[in-house]
Structure 1
């Protein structure tokens, strides 16, 4: 016998319990009373976010046997190679509790490195709660604290998870207690888990249901959706990753973007599994994607609000502060014909990475290129690698620099991040540079060497706190001093146990000088650096010595010089190829030898007048690796 039952949402709640169970599996998800939970995983770098996400996906059956792999949500090749998360990745999961209740989880795996902190803040805007991971062997680290306060400021529910309890050196109770002392999250609330073995995953899933609130907002209200990310698709145009706060959006709906007032018609909507899955609609509380035939990349601004043209909302979502780049570097194509291709690649990367910025610039040495802004050195390195791999570009990068504020003698105030644009000393009244508040967490036995390193970098101590078994050093340091190799030196000195986090606080006056580099008596503007006067000579000496090693030898001697203003402070020479013109001249009068040598000397002089020296990319990299 076949029974056909047709019910509405209101009638659904009045069905007898046995009939409810009978037809429940046949009803669409929304009619079965499915509830949503939106959450992110946040932690310090390498505390096991992506691995725990793998176990959650496995437990909920989101990965088949053929799809199983490590770091499932790390979709970029670079992420898998480096073992770090660069982009936040959303995924939709179905969870059925032991009592039969059904839930839909929208999980967003986030980066842990300080350079990608903006990715975390964007992900949190789409959530009601977070899993805060702490390594059971390492305890609370600098970025753990920062991410925890990001979640607290966003009024999100925090579920503390002590991860990696399977490690031999694990101290789960100590890590939970440390979390309570530093952040104020009760130790008894912590869940002990292992992303490697899957221990604790069922408890985490139940905690998500019990502790994280359901998303608010009515599907009958005017549409209000927040764009928290976007990506460019060659066939569908810009795909908007959205969190629907109120209302409902379906294909054929006319939508309006608040930032520019432009209207578009929705082609498709869908969710993440973690690939793109086409759906029928997105309602209040859901996380998904929208394709609306948006071809102009500039129209899709992260943080913008979407509403329906025929049923608009009154006010946009407040969004979040746009990220301000703090590190700048010049990127130039080695082949000038790739300039247009590079511009298109940069525009697409900017769409997917709102913290990245660029503007055209010209260098006498390198030709046409772009001045690019990043959140840190790792961010800059990742962008360059993505350009080279994903867009098949061959690039030259100049030394990174921060934004300097210059007050001229005329009273005019300039801001520049390009050392080549520095005015001459007689035109400058003072130069100010950005300072950061640097927090370093490390074991007590490494405090002395790390404090010495910070003093070498012109840092001044603010305070020193004892956190459990470790020490937190807080210093105020010029941002330019930690750009190049500070993180590597810190890890080396502390044997890998130290972690750091920083925030920019203000600008302060400094005794800064621009060091120009001359090759064969011609200035190379792309190699100019700004440095404190106390370090100008030593840095100039290291740069010219390094460059003399990597610049190819010519038929004549090539001088490489460092100068401040018109004063040469260091010089090295690329030795000329030598040809022994006296090889066949043995015996006889010495005047015959002098005649041959003078003839060779005149020939080299003529060659030098018309010759040019090619500066290879290794020479530009030499500026970045001037530390012994």
Structure 2
């Protein structure tokens, strides 16, 4: 704890001039959470006895993987001497944000609640793809940027080189770039002083009707929905009736306070403050992220702008292994949606898997984290089908169909055009790997947009690539081909027409919808061979031979057979006439033929799970 820290500061309402709202943005693994830990310790808001690494990462899955999934807001006190030498106590509201491209929506909401941002760069690795993406987000929000180099205590750190790189990127002098170590605490006090000095105080009308923006919310099983807000105008007090401006629902505030970092009740929230509200509401749909909270007695006439709705990039079917768990899965998704505003879902049914939900995610890691949270936090056993993206299919009779699931792909009629989503990918890597990166992108039907050198040895390569080509194993391939040095960021840039086909998997001539996929015509054969080969290993043998076929429409492109189990009907014949043996074999043959006509191949649950998870096997990476 620094001698500059003041007693925990949680007054009824702080003068807006004494408040500083800021967030920490960076590429994944550049030390945001470690720097936040040191700030909590130095300001004295968390005692040394209670301190633990990644203090603000509340989920087990965050701590295990070392990644931040949820933004966390915390208020810290900090004293700065004024011109007379007396210490003035400031309230610093900090939001620690995720660094992964799949959670950029969390970052965009956090930026809207702040006036400034600390742009953190690893002094051993330099600027990465997500550093640039988050910087552009902050600049769009007109935030004050404080450039900071972290991990200067590492032997491999090159602070002077990367300070020049950072200064060139955002404009200014390399001397303005602060050098800190989140691990040892070196330079963190100077950084807190810079936050007070450079980041502007929040602006709002204290006498206007209350308006607060909901930037996050979580579900507490004991207290109901906990809503995190940033006050813009007016004031909110305990026991006051509030109104949600989008739903017009009214509630009474049972508790209002700030996270410091544990929930600390206060006598109200004023202009510029960041805090939480508890109304006891259990219905998770009543607290929508981006909504405006006002008072019921004197409501505001105009709502705040809110946030742009996130567009799901990847779709997957989520099905309970036990069909009776369907209501529990619906309730679990409702609660997850509250803490993860980027998750979208709607009910769907599958012939093979029963009732479930079609869910939309921002990327493959987002899908993986959501399924993991459903298993851990709600105790559900679920199957996630192979991820797919959204296609626009136009038939020859001018009908347009939006396809999020291969089973929705039109059949029978002639297809005039299929349009697939495209993304603009930015890849940062050492210049030695330019050739291998270009080769990988071109094999995924990418088109080169341009190339820029960020320094003497680092290059940014920009491509447009079909989203369907990068959602599976593109990032893994990129990492393995560049010895782990490359970093990737992408954003949607519309769609384009492509030669895409639907590949169906047939068992005994019957289509199994869960294994269908939409792929480029050039890769259809490879997908057919892969899936038929995988299912031949996974499906148990029957009393009759089972053909596994991959087909495009009526044309079979690949086939494997599961050989029949054969009972030895000649075991009881110790000799005798050959006609006796032939008669028994013919009888067996007839029986198998009849069984094949009426027999239905049951695909065991384990085979479904293994075949579908095989699509993303080895592709579970938390770090882009």
Does structure 2 retain, via aligned residues, the 8 Å contact 1:438–1:477?
Answer: yes
Q: Aligned-pair distance for 1:577?
A: 3.4
Within the candidate set 565, 590, 603, 1:614 is matched to: 603
Does structure 1 retain, via aligned residues, the 8 Å contact 2:7–2:77?
Answer: no
Residue 224 (str. 1) matches residue 211 (str. 2): yes
2:618 & 2:560 partners in 1: Cα distance? 15
3-state DSSP of counterpart to 2:280: strand
Does structure 2 retain, via aligned residues, the 8 Å contact 1:543–1:622?
Answer: no
2:414 alignment partner in structure 1:
427
Q: Aligned-pair distance for 1:432?
A: 0.6
2:234 alignment partner in structure 1:
247
1:97 alignment partner in structure 2:
80
Within the candidate set 205, 208, 215, 2:192 is matched to: 205
1:387 & 1:154 partners in 2: Cα distance? 34
2:262 & 2:147 partners in 1: Cα distance? 28
2:498 & 2:36 partners in 1: Cα distance? 46
Q: Aligned-pair distance for 1:591?
A: 3.6
TM-score where L is the length of structure 2: 0.93
1:9 alignment partner in structure 2:
none
1:488 alignment partner in structure 2:
476
Residue 65 (str. 1) matches residue 48 (str. 2): yes
Does structure 1 retain, via aligned residues, the 8 Å contact 2:8–2:76?
Answer: no
Go from structure 1 to structure 2 and tell me whether the alpha carbon gap of 1:559 and 1:184 turns closer, same or farther (over 3 Å shift): farther
Does structure 1 retain, via aligned residues, the 8 Å contact 2:167–2:177?
Answer: no
Within the candidate set 536, 545, 555, 1:557 is matched to: 545
Residue 375 (str. 1) matches residue 358 (str. 2): no
2:562 alignment partner in structure 1:
574
2:622 alignment partner in structure 1:
none
Does structure 1 retain, via aligned residues, the 8 Å contact 2:429–2:460?
Answer: yes
Go from structure 1 to structure 2 and tell me whether the alpha carbon gap of 1:516 and 1:95 turns closer, same or farther (over 3 Å shift): same
2:434 & 2:13 partners in 1: Cα distance? 60
Within the candidate set 459, 480, 505, 2:493 is matched to: 505
Which stretch shows the higher mean deviation, 212-221 or 534-543? Answer: 212-221
1:65 & 1:27 partners in 2: Cα distance? 18
Residue 295 (str. 1) matches residue 287 (str. 2): no
Go from structure 1 to structure 2 and tell me whether the alpha carbon gap of 1:187 and 1:113 turns closer, same or farther (over 3 Å shift): same
Does structure 2 retain, via aligned residues, the 8 Å contact 1:116–1:379?
Answer: yes
Residue 115 (str. 1) matches residue 102 (str. 2): yes
Within the candidate set 510, 515, 525, 2:513 is matched to: 525
1:336 alignment partner in structure 2:
323
Go from structure 1 to structure 2 and tell me whether the alpha carbon gap of 1:593 and 1:32 turns closer, same or farther (over 3 Å shift): closer
3-state DSSP of counterpart to 1:249: coil
Q: Aligned-pair distance for 1:425?
A: 6.1
1:450 alignment partner in structure 2:
437
1:518 & 1:375 partners in 2: Cα distance? 31
1:15 alignment partner in structure 2:
none
Go from structure 1 to structure 2 and tell me whether the alpha carbon gap of 1:405 and 1:64 turns closer, same or farther (over 3 Å shift): same
Does structure 1 retain, via aligned residues, the 8 Å contact 2:13–2:268?
Answer: no
1:26 & 1:614 partners in 2: Cα distance? 61
Go from structure 1 to structure 2 and tell me whether the alpha carbon gap of 1:597 and 1:140 turns closer, same or farther (over 3 Å shift): same
Does structure 1 retain, via aligned residues, the 8 Å contact 2:21–2:114?
Answer: yes
1:27 & 1:418 partners in 2: Cα distance? 52
Within the candidate set 274, 296, 306, 2:261 is matched to: 274
1:50 alignment partner in structure 2:
33
1:165 & 1:601 partners in 2: Cα distance? 77
1:252 & 1:493 partners in 2: Cα distance? 59
TM-score where L is the length of structure 1: 0.92
Does structure 1 retain, via aligned residues, the 8 Å contact 2:504–2:551?
Answer: yes
Go from structure 1 to structure 2 and tell me whether the alpha carbon gap of 1:590 and 1:452 turns closer, same or farther (over 3 Å shift): farther
Within the candidate set 21, 29, 34, 1:38 is matched to: 21
Number of residues of Structure 1 aligned to a counterpart in Structure 2: 604
2:10 & 2:540 partners in 1: Cα distance? 70
5+ residue gaps, structure 2, are: 1-5, 620-624
2:237 & 2:97 partners in 1: Cα distance? 28
* Alpha-carbon displacement from aligned partner over 1:30-51 (angstroms, at most 9, x marks no partner): 6996821111111011111111
Q: Aligned-pair distance for 1:493?
A: 0.5
3-state DSSP of counterpart to 2:424: strand
2:586 alignment partner in structure 1:
598
Does structure 2 retain, via aligned residues, the 8 Å contact 1:228–1:302?
Answer: yes
3-state DSSP of counterpart to 1:543: helix
Question: Whose relative contact order is higher, 1 or 2, with alpha carbons under 8 Å and at least 6 apart?
Answer: 2
1:436 alignment partner in structure 2:
423
Does structure 1 retain, via aligned residues, the 8 Å contact 2:242–2:252?
Answer: yes
What is the CA RMSD across the aligned residues, in angstroms?
2.2
Q: Aligned-pair distance for 1:278?
A: 2.0
1:410 & 1:283 partners in 2: Cα distance? 59
1:407 alignment partner in structure 2:
394
Does structure 2 retain, via aligned residues, the 8 Å contact 1:177–1:187?
Answer: yes
2:80 & 2:590 partners in 1: Cα distance? 90
Residue 160 (str. 1) matches residue 147 (str. 2): yes
1:55 & 1:159 partners in 2: Cα distance? 17
Does structure 2 retain, via aligned residues, the 8 Å contact 1:546–1:626?
Answer: no
Which stretch shows the higher mean deviation, 411-420 or 546-555? Answer: 546-555
2:525 alignment partner in structure 1:
537
* Alpha-carbon displacement from aligned partner over 1:244-290 (angstroms, at most 9, x marks no partner): 11111111212121112222221111111223222221111111111
2:594 & 2:264 partners in 1: Cα distance? 69
Which stretch shows the higher mean deviation, 97-106 or 606-615? Answer: 606-615
5+ residue gaps, structure 1, are: 1-23
1:80 alignment partner in structure 2:
63
Which stretch shows the higher mean deviation, 328-337 or 258-267? Answer: 258-267
* Alpha-carbon displacement from aligned partner over 1:213-246 (angstroms, at most 9, x marks no partner): 1112243332110000111223332221100111
1:193 alignment partner in structure 2:
180
Does structure 2 retain, via aligned residues, the 8 Å contact 1:244–1:286?
Answer: yes
Residue 471 (str. 1) matches residue 459 (str. 2): yes
Go from structure 1 to structure 2 and tell me whether the alpha carbon gap of 1:274 and 1:519 turns closer, same or farther (over 3 Å shift): farther
2:588 & 2:165 partners in 1: Cα distance? 75
3-state DSSP of counterpart to 2:202: coil
1:150 alignment partner in structure 2:
137
Does structure 2 retain, via aligned residues, the 8 Å contact 1:338–1:393?
Answer: yes
Q: Aligned-pair distance for 1:446?
A: 1.0
